[in-house]
């Protein structure tokens, strides 16, 4: 694994679709051994994940990590909350942004960095349906523009 480019485990596609993303933070995550094994196999769902704060600690809710087949007989909770490892200063800043500007804190990426699993969390303001439609129109127009330019270069 190269040190420049982290190996992405999962990207939260709904985050960029439903939120206007702002400031980004890198956080470690506390996992159990079977969860790491499942992450290696790509058995993770992050669609409904978000970050909340309790007792000046950051917690990640809504991530579903399916247990491997070897643990099907044991009682493991795939939807348990997981603690995020952030500095006190970063937690204070995120809490301030969340409370004052009424932003949501969501996970955008989970990736390997050296031997550790890290997540990128970002503040986000919810998009209206109108904004989502404008994003779709813009993306379609850029795609059409690329096709037009490609066809004009062939002639």
- Does residue 110 form part of some domain? yes
- Does residue 150 form part of some domain? no
Find the CATH number of the domain harbouring 41.
2.40.280.10
Please provide the size of the chain in residues.
155
- Does residue 13 form part of some domain? yes
From the list 107, 139, 146, 142, the residue with the least C-alpha distance to 123 is: 107
- Does residue 39 form part of some domain? yes
The residue behind tokens 């196999």 is 41
For the stretch 23-65, pLDDT in tens is: 999 999 999 888 888 888 888 888 888 899 999 999 999 899 8
- Does residue 22 form part of some domain? yes
- Does residue 141 form part of some domain? no
- Does residue 34 form part of some domain? yes
Backbone CA torsion sign across 23, 26, 30, 33? positive
**pLDDT classification of 1: cutoffs 50, 70, 90:** very low
């Amino acid at each position: 694994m190269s040190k420049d480019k982290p190996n992405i485990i999962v990207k939260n596609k709904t985050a960029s679709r439903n939120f206007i993303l702002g400031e980004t933070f890198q956080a470690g995550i506390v996992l159990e051994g079977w969860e790491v094994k499942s992450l290696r196999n790509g058995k993770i769902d992050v669609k409904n994940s978000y970050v909340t704060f309790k007792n000046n600690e950051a917690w990640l809710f809504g991530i579903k990590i399916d247990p491997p087949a070897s643990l099907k007989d044991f009682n493991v909770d795939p939807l348990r909350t997981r603690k995020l490892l952030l500095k006190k200063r970063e937690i204070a800043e995120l809490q301030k942004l969340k409370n004052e500007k009424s932003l949501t804190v969501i996970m955008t990426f989970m990736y390997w960095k050296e031997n550790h699993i890290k997540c990128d969390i970002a503040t986000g303001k919810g998009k209206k349906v109108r904004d989502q439609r404008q994003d779709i129109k813009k993306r379609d127009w850029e795609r059409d523009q690329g096709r037009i330019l490609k066809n004009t270069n062939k002639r």
